[in-house]
Amino acid sequence: MRTNRSQCPLVNILDIVGDKWSLIIIRDLFLGKKTFTEFMNSPEKFASNILSNRLEFLINQGLLKVTKFPHDKKTKIYYLTDKGIDLYPILYEMMYWSKRNLDEEFGPLGLQFFKDSKRLSSKTFIKRTQSKYTQVRDEFLSV
């Protein structure tokens, strides 16, 4: 068991998701990706060893779990735990911070996110996204 390097709550969460890749994995899970191959096809181009390391780390931190397809015992399926789903408001706020403060043109993922989210209040959109993920996850796991 690791110890936190600080008693600061911000440092504690950054020790878990403050690297370059963890929040991208969590974003991709919310976008419906489940397998190693699907993560490898992300536009950010993970190196396979880094992806393997981050998936294992996030599992050990209790943010993800892994299982196998019922009809294909070779393929691992990754999914968010409730603890991982609870990170969605952070992703939402970080994306909107980028929109407000960075002079960037966003790609298809960002444009779709902003289009979908602008129709609802932030609170409603966040809750809806978390609920939708939980429902899909629970239906998948019940098979």
- pLDDT tens digits along 7-57: 899 999 999 999 989 999 999 999 999 999 999 999 988 999 999 999 999
- What predicted TM-score, i.e. pTM, was given to this entire model? 0.92
Question: Alpha-carbon distance 80 to 20, whole Å?
Answer: 19
- The reported pLDDT for the residue numbered 5 is 76
Question: Alpha-carbon distance 106 to 2, whole Å?
Answer: 37
Question: Which pLDDT tens digit goes with each residue over 65-118?
Answer: 999 977 888 899 999 999 999 999 999 999 999 999 999 999 999 999 999 999
Domain extent listing, the chain:
9-141
The domain made up of 9-141 has a fold known as: Arc Repressor Mutant, subunit A (1.10.10)
Note the helical H segments in 86-121: 88-101, 108-117
Beta bridge partners of 73: none
